[in-house]
Amino acid sequence: MPAKPRRGSSEAVDNYLKAILALGGPAEARVTITSLAQHLSVAPASVTNMLQKLAGEAAPLVKYERHRGVQLSRAGKKRALEIVRHHRLIETFLYRILDYPLEEVHAEAERLEHFISERFEERIAAKLGHPTIDPHGHSIPTLEGEIQATESMLLADVSDAGNFRIDSVSDRDTGYVRRLEARGITPGAHLKLKGATAAGYNLRVGRTGKSFLLPRTLAEQVRIVRVPEH
């Protein structure tokens, strides 16, 4: 018999909750139908129908108001963070233990995150030494649903020169992950930004690497933290 999502959930519901969590950000801002539809690549009408369903359950997973967007309820946030924890632990296991290439772990984790048991989750976490960061640099939620906040910023939002540490890279596009990794742009790497132009960002990765121009489309996938000059 094939595995089923836990607690009567469905993959579609989990994906909606994860998307609302991501788009709402740390401030848990209201998420519009349009942005949610774009994020999930589904029609706005389908988004509205799903949100009405989730808001109408006996224990609502979302707080939805027409023309005002949607937020997660307490139960919805708990479930979303649980799925994010599964996803990021699986990514870390695939990368560290099974030697998956970085650009492949996201898609594999997307398929598995809905189905693992609590026991399997515990065994993965223990095997990995209870990690707090996944291979892309994203915080792994704790069992209690807490997630570490960072002071990072998008590389695409920075225009002044300086020294930075790469905090994380987006995992949503396999091609982007592959191109960034080929340039040495991975979490923890040192980055020196020399300036920004309309064509992109003039930077160097590592202390001895050569400078190159990073297109804006790739800079939008990278979060960085400024570090003091030495």
What pLDDT shows up at residue 229? 73
Residue 125 to residue 169: CA distance in whole angstroms: 22
**Inter-residue contact 28 to 62 (CB < 8 Å):** no
From the list 98, 72, 59, 56, the residue with the least C-alpha distance to 17 is 72
Q: What is the pLDDT of residues 151-190, one digit of tens each?
A: 899 999 998 899 999 999 999 899 999 999 999 999 999 9
Residue 122 lies in a domain: no
**Inter-residue contact 67 to 32 (CB < 8 Å):** no
Q: Is the pLDDT of residue 3 over 80?
A: no
> Tokens 């649980």, residue?
82
Average per-residue pLDDT in the chain?
92
CATH for 19: 1.10.10.10
What pLDDT shows up at residue 44? 95
Q: What is the DSSP letter of 68?
A: T
- Going by C-beta distance under 8 Å and a sequence separation of 6 or more, which residues neighbour residue 211? 194, 202, 203, 204
Residue 106 lies in a domain: no
With 0-12 / 13-18 / 19 or more C-beta atoms within 10 angstroms meaning exposed / middle / buried, residue 20 is buried
Q: Is the pLDDT of residue 2 over 60?
A: no
3-state secondary structure of 124: helix
Residue 62 lies in a domain: yes
Residue 60 to residue 72: CA distance in whole angstroms: 9
**Inter-residue contact 194 to 211 (CB < 8 Å):** yes
**Domain end among 76, 101, 125:** 76
The amino acid sitting at 11 is: E
Residue 94 lies in a domain: no
**Inter-residue contact 16 to 57 (CB < 8 Å):** no
Write out the H or E segment, with its range, that includes residue 204.
strand 200-205
**Domain end among 22, 46, 76:** 76
What pLDDT shows up at residue 230? 60
What pLDDT shows up at residue 4? 43
Residue 188 lies in a domain: yes
What pLDDT shows up at residue 159? 84
The mean per-residue pLDDT over the stretch 82-86 comes to 96
Query: How many CA atoms does the CB half-sphere of 27 hold within 13 Å?
Result: 3
Domain that holds residue 56: 6-76
CATH for 191: 2.30.30.90
Residue 34 lies in a domain: yes
**Domain end among 60, 76, 92:** 76
Residue 88 lies in a domain: no
Q: Tokens at residue 117, please?
A: 């048991």
For residue 171, count other CB atoms closer than 10 A to its CB: 24
Sign of CA dihedral 88, 89, 90, 93: positive
Q: What is the pLDDT of residues 121-142, one digit of tens each?
A: 999 999 999 999 999 999 999 9
pTM, rounded to two decimals:
0.89
Number of structural domains found in the chain: 2
Residue 100 lies in a domain: no
What percentage of the chain carries pLDDT values higher than 70? Answer: 96
